[in-house]
Chain A
């Protein structure tokens, strides 16, 4: 049995697949820890796992961490190049700097066999490299998300400069970038959906994973009585400020339509929801999806994966970050449509959903993506890769001793 330590950012979309993989590792008898920068409620943590936050070392940075977290909501109002800056320069790199000291201590205390760092949580890779502990990276989004931007030489140079400076702060002077594992990178989609048939061999596309604890209540009896097509609409866990405006448009589009809208948002943002809406702030999304007929979302990857895993057609309204890239992949796969968000018109939203429900080609294409996801192996394949990795590195270290 091995001891695995996940290093995660304070964004639930990135934590979520690690909870699912972690649950599967725990079920196989491994020891599993998480280290994050903000606390995670116990109900999300798989039985037997532990989620640690090095509060002592993070204390002086707490105000700054909170400021950075609040700043993420600005993403919705920023342009592509501004978002790149916000992500790398104002979020990932400062977090990597702040996590260093506390993560180093926790690694010394817990001595994991393998560190598994999320792709935007550079501290995990950098600490693992510094300590000589084998590490794997997890990528919960399609990998070449910055692809287009990095073809621009000055933007590429900017990214390289920042990453190199960060490594040097860690006392790492190699020419290679080591924040991501060169040995194994688990990617939670398929090569064909991500359109990366020529990915490097250490990129392991295992498809979406599931099984994290989710005890959220939903009135499935009420859902059972619904006779009209059911459309799930969510903007994910970030981007709270823009919800009112978005759902006002959703209401304009679908009020009194022969549809039932399952809206994942705080009901308090709107005073009067139409009768054909079921509204709840947090929903058990993976358990709800099998009952849906279509999904409208912003292109957050967990929602897209949940929809595709159920063979559902999608309408994506990309807002910021990697959403545009993901929306492009959805459209290319044939499983859905994209609609601009800022100047979205209610009639286009309504027409888009009608098209998805009437033209079976979208559903067929989504089912094709689902088959590819299932073939990629999901949790079992991820665990098999991690066990093989742990076995190979444990062997090596024994041999050295």
Chain B
């Protein structure tokens, strides 16, 4: 089965985390990336303080990188408000892992 995994996709959750962290750093930009500590348990809203423009940019990157198997927008749109408010980086990692 391993041969079916696209070569550009990371193979474990540490790698997934590293990729997502890079995305967030790219979106936040050089000037600001030292101001925040990006961790697996960082929440998108309270900790990373991503606004709508940045979250859209993040989900574009996720879709582009992890490919069509993953319906990231659909996954988000099935949440209620409290789930969205509490959403953490680790939730996204788990979702990506589960889609493998």
Contact = CB atoms under 8 A, between A and B. Distances in A.
Interface of A: 78-82, 84-85, 151-155, 158, 318, 324, 338, 340-343, 345
B51 A342 contact: yes
A79 B45 contact: yes
Contacts of A345: 29, 31
Question: How many residues of B sit at the interface, in one of the four size bands?
Answer: 20 to 34
B28 A81 contact: no
Given A152-B79, A154-B78, A342 B45 contact: no
Nearest to B33: A343
B32 A318 contact: no
Contact of B81 (A151, A155, A324): A155
Contact of A338 (B44, B49, B53, B81): B53
Q: Which 8 A-B pairs have the closest CB atoms?
A: A79-B45, A154-B80, A81-B84, A152-B77, A324-B52, A81-B81, A343-B32, A340-B53
A58 B33 CA distance: 48
Contacts of B83: 154
Contacts, number: 59
21 contacts: A79-B45, A79-B84, A79-B85, A80-B51, A80-B52, A81-B81, A81-B84, A82-B45, A152-B78, A152-B79, A154-B79, A154-B81, A158-B80, A158-B81, A318-B52, A318-B53, A340-B51, A340-B53, A340-B54, A342-B49, A345-B29
B81 A153 contact: no
A22 B45 CA distance: 41
Contacts of A152: 76-79
Nearest to B32: A343
A201 to B, nearest CB: 29
Contacts of B85: 79, 81-82, 85
Contacts of B55: 80
Interface of B: 28-29, 31-32, 44-46, 49-55, 76-81, 83-85
Given A343-B28, A343-B32, A155 B51 contact: no
A2 B71 CA distance: 55
A84 B55 CA distance: 16
Given A151-B77, A342-B51, 9 more contacts: A79-B46, A80-B84, A152-B77, A152-B78, A152-B79, A318-B52, A324-B53, A343-B31, A345-B31
A23 B79 CA distance: 45
A146 to B, nearest CB: 12
A84 B52 CA distance: 13
Name the residue in B44, B55, B76, B85 with the highest tally of chain A Cβ atoms < 10 Å from its Cβ: B85
| Most chain A beta carbons < 10 A, residue from B52, B55, B79, B84 | B52
Contacts of B49: 79, 342
A352 to B, nearest CB: 14
A251 B46 CA distance: 28
B33 to A, nearest CB: 10
Contacts of B44: 79
Contacts of A318: 51-53
B44 to A, nearest CB: 7
Contacts of A84: 81
Contacts of A80: 51-52, 55, 84
A210 to B, nearest CB: 30
A324 B79 CA distance: 21
Nearest to A85: B81
Nearest to B31: A345
A151 B74 CA distance: 10
A81 B53 contact: no
